[in-house]
Every structure is written in C-alpha cells, then in structure tokens.
Structure 1
Amino acid sequence: GTFSVVPELYFQLYTIHTTYLNHILPAVYILLPGKKQRLYKTMLEEIKKLAPDFDPPNVMIDFERASMNAIKNLFPTTNLSGCFFHLCQNVYRAVTRFGLKTLYGENENFAQQIRLLPALAFLPTTDVIATFDEIKAQFPAEVNVRAAKFDIVLWNVNTNTLQGRHRTNNVVEGWNNRFTSLMNCSHPNIWKFLKGLKKEQCYVDAQIIQAEAGVRQARRREQIRRETRILNLLNEPTTTNFEKLMALAQNITLKDS
C-alpha cells in the first residue's frame, strides 16, 4: 500500500499487481480506511464477487500479519511468500533498533555475520535450522534467541530462485514511488486522485500493448551477473551450507529503504 497519495478520508491505496507476459502490472486499486485484518478480508471478498474464479496460486507480500491472515483465510491453497527485500530491510532495522548501526557500518566481520541471517532464505527449508545453529555459534554466548514470528516457508526464497521467479516485490515499491511522483502532492482531493489514477491506467494499458507485442523489460547487467552467481552457488554440490551462506552474504545489501 501507499499512504501519502490518498484523499483525507482514507488511510491507504492498496494495490494488487499481477504478472502478465513477464511484465508486472497493477490490476486492482483499492482505497482503504485502515489496515486491519477484517478490512483486508472484506476487500478480498469484494474482489471474489467481481471475479469468482480468482484463486491465485502464488502471492508475494510484505511481512504484514493482517493481510497475510486475510489472504490465507480466503485462499487457503495459495502459496504465500514474503518479499526478500523487506526481510533484509527488517534485519537492518533490528540492527539499528539494538544500537548496532555504527558497528555494522564500521566492522566488516560483524556486517558479514549479520548478512548471514537473510542469506538463510536461499537454503532449502530443511537445511535452515541446522545452519542457523552454526550461525549462532559465531555470536557471543549471551545473545538471546526469540521464537520465530514467521514460518520458514514464508520467507524462504530457495524455490523461487531456482525456478527463476521473483524474490521481491520491488517493482511494486517502484510503482508506489512513481504514482506518488505523478500525484505530486500529499492527500489530494478525490477528484484529483481519480484523475491521477485514470492517467496511470492509460500508462498501464500502454504497457499491456507493449507486452503483447513482445517487448521485454530490460534487466541491468549487474542484476543478471548477481543472479548467475547466486544460482551457481546454490547448485554447487561440493560446498557446505555454511560455505554457501558466506558467499551468498557477499551478494546481499542491507539498508532501511
């Protein structure tokens, strides 16, 4: 969702994006007055009324418990996954929250140890706990370990990576930023908001035409090289999981936004 572009009566603009011919495009725009589970449930029920056959096999989402619960309640067979970028973002925010931001920025050994944590997401789910125990051994004995808030399958990206599927919803974040720039003001009145939304939909319609014409979205060379490195690491049979983590951590950047 995005917040600053909505009229004063509403809390957020919630968007659902879909993959169409390898293009990720907004398919549904919803103005919501809050972010509670019951609101998300009502929203999804209304979508089901409009599209009774709507039953997505895969859904990627931020780590927001209310929306996750609503999706699983209405679409119990959907494969729900969390965005890897937001996983990394939350790890970095925890570093900041515990007063370790300066140490992380100045001590590369410590930073490498921290990056091992999100790197766990690349391992097969069955290997995560044992490898996490190896990571714990790298930290001081007095470090406390809390119970996990989210199941491993929710934040694991091993299958998505090996099958060439998206690990992040950064395209959606990019859309939020672009639409905010298009509106060029905070909390417009409803008429200006609708005018902006219509303009955006014209742009989306043009993207659909491009997709159907076979136009491919460009990928940066560094992105392609990083993806190749990660796949090579995951498919390397002779290295241990911990060795893979050490190498994978070199391909991870932690930041707040």
Structure 2
Amino acid sequence: MIHQKWPEFKPESMSIDFEKAAFNAANKIFPEIRILGCLFHLAQNFKKQFTGHLLRRYNTEPDFAVEARKILALAFVKPEDLDRAVCELSESWEEVEHRGEDDGEDLITTDLSVLEPVLKWFEDNYMGKVDRRGNRRSPQFAVDMWNCHDRVLKNDPRTNNRAEAAHRRLQRELGADHPSIWKFIESLRKVQIGVDKSFEDMLIGRPAEQKRKKYRDADLRIRRLVDGYDEDNLLDFLHGIATNIGMS
C-alpha cells in the first residue's frame, strides 16, 4: 500500500519482526533495502524455547539464566567470530558439568547440557545448519539481519520498540478486540495526534522521551563492552552482554 501511494519512497533500511512473510514482502517491494531484525522479537523467539523444566530453572537459578542468555548475546559478537563463539560456549558448559561431577555438587544445578538444544535451534535458524562437509547452509535469517555489533557502534536502534509502543497506544484507545469502524477511526486520529506532536517536538529540538534509567545504564554498559570487544576473550564478552540483556 505504501509503495502504491508513494512510489518514490525508497527507504535505506527497515526494522521488522522475525516473520518470514514480512521479510519476503519487504525484499520484494524494496529490493535494495537493508532489512534489520528487531532484537526484542529475536528475544521473544528465544524465549519460546524455554518451557517446562527449562523455564523453571531460568526463573529460579540466576546463574543458569545468565548461561542461557549467552545464546542471545551471540547477537553482539562480530559475525566472523560467531562459529568460534558457539564452540567455546558449548565447551564451557561441558566443563561446568564435569566440574560439578568432580566436586560432588548436585547435578541439577550444574548440568548446562540442557541448553544445547536451544543453542542448536539458534545455530540452525540464525547461522545456518552445518552440512556433511562442515560448511554452513544459508540460515532462515541472514546474520547481517540480526547481528547487533555494528548497530551498537553506530548507535543505530536495535529494536522497533517505537512502533510497538504505537501499537499498544492504539490497543488502549480501542479498548476492545472488535471495535466498530467509527471507534477504530477515532482511535487512529487520537494516536496520530500523539505521533504528530512527537514529530513536532523533534523538529524544534525538544528532548525525546527518555528510556527508564535502568535501560539507559544497561545500554551504556553494552556500548562499553562492544567498544572493548576482544576476539580472544569471547566467553567473557558473552557473560558481560548476558548480564545486561533480558529475554523479554
């Protein structure tokens, strides 16, 4: 619809959810566009892998939760270091399990091999399955679509949360799952008034509404970690990122 109404519109990039249909549609209409996956929705897809016992451990064992989020933290690793980061992460879990056996610890709290299927899911969908020759096939979502390393360095947004916020405002205005057409139109008008005001504030130099302090502080810590990125200390990097990101 946008392309029909505004054929000269040629965006350089677009942030979308990790939905293959949306990805294909954007590529078809704007073949030259750079499509960026939203980190928030990547985290949502990641969260869906945690059910039952895995979810209970994630919610009750802080150390286990950090280990789990190291998989999501791979989104901040330089693309050329991803394969090595995955190998080192998997090996680190084996070492923890063996250390637990040697020390006589309760394996319920040391067994991290249960995270291997989640890591495999991430590899298959976002890095590509490994064929018999040891080469990766094309993943469902290309690495440059979801990798955030350069986005952090360039201060580019990692999520499309502003669009999500607009959707939530519209839902609040509607107040029902099946509103009348008149209620829908009136709600759109009210939301658009807010969007227009935000745009006007930006044009006249008023400061934009800031994130909550804890999120701003986390962003600063992530930026420092990415600035100090060391390919020889990937596990430390993953640990640092994992302590500053969430699963939702």
Q: For this structure pair, what is the TM-score category when the shorter chain's length is used for normalisation?
A: 0.7 to 0.9
Question: Is residue 234 from structure 1 mapped to residue 226 from structure 2 by the alignment?
Answer: yes
Aligned letter for 2:227? Answer: N
User: In the aligned structure 2, how far is the partner of 1:254 from the partner of 1:121?
Assistant: 13
Quickly say closer, same or farther: Cα 1:215–1:179, change in 2 above 3 A: same
Deviation at 1:237, TM superposition (A): 5.1
Question: Partner residue of 2:113?
Answer: 140
Question: Is residue 90 from structure 1 mapped to residue 45 from structure 2 by the alignment?
Answer: yes
Question: Is residue 128 from structure 1 mapped to residue 82 from structure 2 by the alignment?
Answer: yes
Question: Is residue 225 from structure 1 mapped to residue 217 from structure 2 by the alignment?
Answer: yes
Question: Is residue 252 from structure 1 mapped to residue 245 from structure 2 by the alignment?
Answer: yes
User: In the aligned structure 1, how far is the partner of 2:83 from the partner of 2:226?
Assistant: 17
User: In the aligned structure 2, how far is the partner of 1:171 from the partner of 1:59?
Assistant: 13
User: In the aligned structure 1, how far is the partner of 2:12 from the partner of 2:233?
Assistant: 33
Alignment of 1:79-228 (within 5 A): 79-96=34-51, 99-137=53-91, 138=93, 139-140=112-113, 143-144=116-117, 145-146=120-121, 147-148=124-125, 149-219=140-210, 220-228=212-220
Deviation at 1:210, TM superposition (A): 1.7
Q: Could you list the runs of 5+ residues in structure 2 that have no partner in the other structure?
A: 94-111, 126-139
Compute the RMSD of aligned alpha carbons: 2.0
More moved, 178-187 vs 219-228 = 219-228
Alignment of 1:2-13 (within 5 A): none
Q: Could you list the runs of 5+ residues in structure 1 that have no partner in the other structure?
A: 1-45
- Relative to the length of structure 2, the TM-score reads 0.77
Deviation at 1:61, TM superposition (A): 0.7
State the secondary structure of the residue aligned to 2:48. Answer: helix
Deviation at 1:82, TM superposition (A): 0.9
Deviations 1:75-121 (A, max 9, x none): 1221111111111122121112x641101112223211110011010
Aligned letter for 1:196? Answer: S
Deviations 1:53-82 (A, max 9, x none): 111111111111101111012212211111
Question: Partner residue of 1:67?
Answer: 22
State the secondary structure of the residue aligned to 1:100. Answer: helix
More moved, 206-215 vs 141-150 = 141-150
- Relative to the length of structure 1, the TM-score reads 0.75
Aligned residue pairs total 209
Deviation at 1:50, TM superposition (A): 1.5
Aligned letter for 1:236? Answer: G
Quickly say closer, same or farther: Cα 1:237–1:65, change in 2 above 3 A: closer
State the secondary structure of the residue aligned to 1:81. Answer: strand
Quickly say closer, same or farther: Cα 1:86–1:58, change in 2 above 3 A: same
Question: Partner residue of 1:37?
Answer: none
User: In the aligned structure 2, how far is the partner of 1:141 from the partner of 1:133?
Assistant: 16
